[in-house]
Structure 1
Amino acid sequence: MFLALQSSYFKSLLLGNFDESQKDKIELKDINPDDFQNFLELIHGESSVNDDTVSGILHLAEMYDAPTAIRRCEEFLSKLSQKTMPQKLQISLRYNLENLKTKCLSEITTVSDIQSIMSLKFKEMDLSTTQALLQKALDFSIKQQ
């Protein structure tokens, strides 16, 4: 029941009209067991999220549509994570973490910050992020003239 409350995927799977809802055991394929353990601990209120576990938890939280887990990971990344700003920005873009993205973009204060982001060559960069980076680069260029 707790999984069903935290995840629309598990709600459908466990309480819906699927064969799995009648079974005692359900096999989850193609997931890392450690990531799933951390995901379970997080949705149960444990503080299992850290810089080593956050990406795996976010992957599962997105896959299983678990907004509380996503929110807790975003809060960790915003407040406690020791990851670099470009790494956080990359994660925010990959998992659509708008608050984290906004925070990361606000922390860009130098041309070298933009260069460090561009060096990652992320595939997930959306138009609004690209525009924000271009605007910051233009602002820096104008200040240097």
Structure 2
Amino acid sequence: MSIKYTSEAYQVNRDTNVLETKTNSGITCVWSGNMNSIPYQINLTWKFDWSELKSQGVYELTGHINVISLINSFTPIKIDVQLTENNQEITKDFNGVVPVFNYEYFLTPHYTPIFEKPSYKDMFLPSDQNDTILVVDGKKFHVSKAFLSYHSEYFRALFSSNFKEGQMDEIPIGEVSYEDFALLLSTFYPNPVFPNDSTVEKILEMARRFLVSSAMSCAEHHLMYISRIIRERMLWLADEYGMPKLLEKCIHGLDTTYKVENLKQSEEFEKLSDETKLRVADQISKLSHI
């Protein structure tokens, strides 16, 4: 359901700044504006604080703002809005000689879907297709050697005759939790469970350790086309886990100085590789020439 708000009417001049600060249904909007007398250009800014909605699982607000003249001196101006970050600003400049108006917004919150956790116990029961047992944290995974070997270089080596584990009826897997190991296997075996923003980082960590390229590709696809993880974190993930397509997308997404400054002030920026920092610097240089 859309969240609606209509402001009071205000007059804008060269000396005005903040016109109104109002909270409505978990959204606090600071509306600012001023006017240049020549050539009568009006500059408006809306800054949205929706941290309360974020804490309730909202990851995005979409909709529009209407700017309305009280005496019909101009046709109502519609501004499309997509808010993905808290305290994000929307700006609009236009010409007008009667700077008395109000605004209204219509914003729809989008909630992070709630994913039902799969039953790992039921996934890895004995069957005719399974020919070995992996033991993690004292719990058994009944799996197929051939299937795991196809997806993972780690298991291909583990099950080979060159390793004693390959001849064992039950093979212990150490230094990993049952939940994390089950999460990794569930991405490709037996019926794939797709990543979400709560699990994707752990899947990447496990996929790198156990050399499961299909799980890595599945995680990258989620990050590129579905995820709502903030861009700074996503850029670091692309750099850390060697996902070139995602890295390219993140670099090209740094298309405003606002986004660049957010990245440079983030914890993730210091953790980037030198090569990726150079690519970010190159993107900043391109922005300065626009």
| Structure 1 residues 96 and 16, CA gap change in structure 2 (3 angstroms) | farther
| Structure 1 residues 48 and 38, CA gap change in structure 2 (3 angstroms) | farther
- Residue equivalent to 2:282: 135
CA distance in 1, matches of 2:204, 2:285: 33
Q: What is the alpha-carbon root mean square deviation over aligned residues?
A: 1.6
SS at 1:43's partner residue? coil
Q: 2:183 aligns with which of 38, 58, 78?
A: 38
CA distance in 1, matches of 2:161, 2:153: 10
SS at 2:254's partner residue? coil
Q: 1:87 aligns with which of 233, 255, 258?
A: 233
CA distance in 1, matches of 2:231, 2:272: 16
- Residue equivalent to 2:174: 29
Residue ranges of structure 1 left out of the alignment (5+ in a row):
none
Aligned: 1:73 with 2:219: yes
CA distance in 2, matches of 1:142, 1:72: 37
CA distance in 1, matches of 2:263, 2:206: 25
CA distance in 2, matches of 1:60, 1:105: 25
Report deviation, 1:62: 0.9
**Alignment check: 8 A CA contact 2:194 2:218 kept:** no
Report deviation, 1:117: 1.9
- Residue equivalent to 1:17: 162
CA distance in 2, matches of 1:114, 1:20: 50
Residue ranges of structure 2 left out of the alignment (5+ in a row):
1-145
Q: 1:61 aligns with which of 207, 221, 226?
A: 207
Aligned: 1:122 with 2:122: no
**Alignment check: 8 A CA contact 2:207 2:213 kept:** yes
Percentage of identical aligned residues: 26
CA distance in 2, matches of 1:32, 1:130: 34
**Alignment check: 8 A CA contact 1:4 1:15 kept:** no
SS at 2:181's partner residue? helix
TM-score (normalised: structure 2): 0.46
Structure number with bigger Rg: 2
Structure number with the higher helix fraction is: 1
TM-score (normalised: structure 1): 0.89
CA distance in 2, matches of 1:2, 1:126: 38
**Alignment check: 8 A CA contact 1:42 1:49 kept:** yes
Alignment coverage as a number of residue pairs: 142
Identify which of structures 1 and 2 has the higher relative contact order when contacts are C-alpha pairs closer than 8 Å and 6+ apart: 1
**1:110-130 deviation per Cα after TM superposition (whole angstroms, max 9, x unaligned):** 122122222223324241x22
**1:120-145 deviation per Cα after TM superposition (whole angstroms, max 9, x unaligned):** 23324241x222211222233334xx
Structure number with the higher strand fraction is: 2
SS at 1:15's partner residue? coil
